[in-house]
Amino acid sequence: MKRSRTWHMTVMSLALLGGTSAVGWAADLVVLESRGANLRPGQTIDSAKVLMLKQGQHVTLISPAGMTLKLDGPYDKAPDGDQARGAPVASTLQLLVTQRQARLGEVGTTRGAAPNSLPDPWLLDASRAGTVCLREGSPAVLWRPDPKQEAMLAVAPADHSWKTEAHWPAGSDRITIPAPAVIHGGATYLVSLNGAQSAMKVEGVPVNLANDSVRAAWLAGKDCEAQARALLRSGK
């Protein structure tokens, strides 16, 4: 009886180990982008459940390991088996570099200039036009690469429905957008430093992202290159 019980426990242990391995692929995937499908950015889906996409529908998913998987319809299966086709964050960032260099080669444009290196991934570069990513529910903290001089800061939404101004003290490289102004994802703002104005497109970062690998993939997928690189460096 004792030998039989031991054998039974061994079989159960092997079954559990095998089950863990088999289920290892199944995980919550985060929707980064959705076109035509009934999915919203930031939503999580079970990778072990069938995902149906019709012709013309597209979805971009992020795995817990930070792999970005692009799927186009027609598609009718569980995406867990396709996770190996996903692109790592490094590949997404390299694509952004390639696209930036292509823009730099266009006649009469300087849009290909490389972004500044940020000391913290959640700072928003106020010195250049482009896309930035802001964590949902967090205040907007602007950053400038050269803090030696005092600056006059002005921020307004693209529709000019309000405007806020502040003195940016000399020696400080960051400043929090003062109340009652509220900066949020999904909008574009006009940021002026000493009269030099640039457009800042703000993308939201959902609070439900599981880890820094997913966050870095989200930042890279939203074209927030400098912030993604800062997050990979700091692990914040």
Over residues 136-192, the pLDDT tens digits come to: 999 999 999 999 999 999 999 999 999 999 999 999 999 999 777 889 999 999 999
Which of residues 18 and 228 earns the better pLDDT score? 228
Tell me, yes or no, whether 76 and 129 share the same domain. no
Tell me, yes or no, whether 60 and 142 share the same domain. no
Tell me, yes or no, whether 182 and 123 share the same domain. yes
pLDDT at 109 over 70: no
Confidence band (pLDDT; 50, 70, 90) for 26?
low
Tell me, yes or no, whether 72 and 108 share the same domain. no
Tell me, yes or no, whether 102 and 203 share the same domain. yes
Residue 3 in domain: no
Among 87, 106, 124, where does a domain finish?
A: 87
Mean residue pLDDT across the chain: 86
- Read off the pLDDT of each residue in 22-28 and give the average, rounded to a whole number: 56
Task: Give the domain extent around 50.
Answer: 26-87
pLDDT at 7 over 70: no
Residue 12 in domain: no
How much of the chain exceeds pLDDT 70, in percent?
Answer: 84
Tokens of 12: 């159960």
Residue 72 in domain: yes
Residue 9 in domain: no
Domain count, the chain: 2
Tell me, yes or no, whether 50 and 146 share the same domain. no
Tell me, yes or no, whether 160 and 48 share the same domain. no
Residue 2 in domain: no
Q: H or E stretch including 80?
A: none
Confidence band (pLDDT; 50, 70, 90) for 17?
very low
Tell me, yes or no, whether 138 and 219 share the same domain. yes
Question: Do the beta carbons of residue 164 and residue 181 sit within 8 Å?
Answer: yes
Tell me, yes or no, whether 167 and 100 share the same domain. yes
pLDDT at 8 over 60: no
Tell me, yes or no, whether 76 and 140 share the same domain. no
Residue 19 in domain: no
Tell me, yes or no, whether 162 and 193 share the same domain. yes
Tokens of 8: 């039974």
Give the DSSP per-residue string, 12-41: HHHHHHHHHHHHTT--EEEEEEEESSS--T
Residue 5 in domain: no
**Residue 147, pLDDT score:** 96
Among 39, 72, 87, where does a domain finish?
A: 87
Among 87, 108, 129, where does a domain finish?
A: 87
Tell me, yes or no, whether 222 and 123 share the same domain. yes
Confidence band (pLDDT; 50, 70, 90) for 84?
confident
Please tell me whether the peptide bond between 180 and the residue prior to it is cis, using omega within 30 degrees of 0.
Answer: yes
Residue 213 in domain: yes
d(CA 185, CA 164): 18
pLDDT at 223 over 50: yes
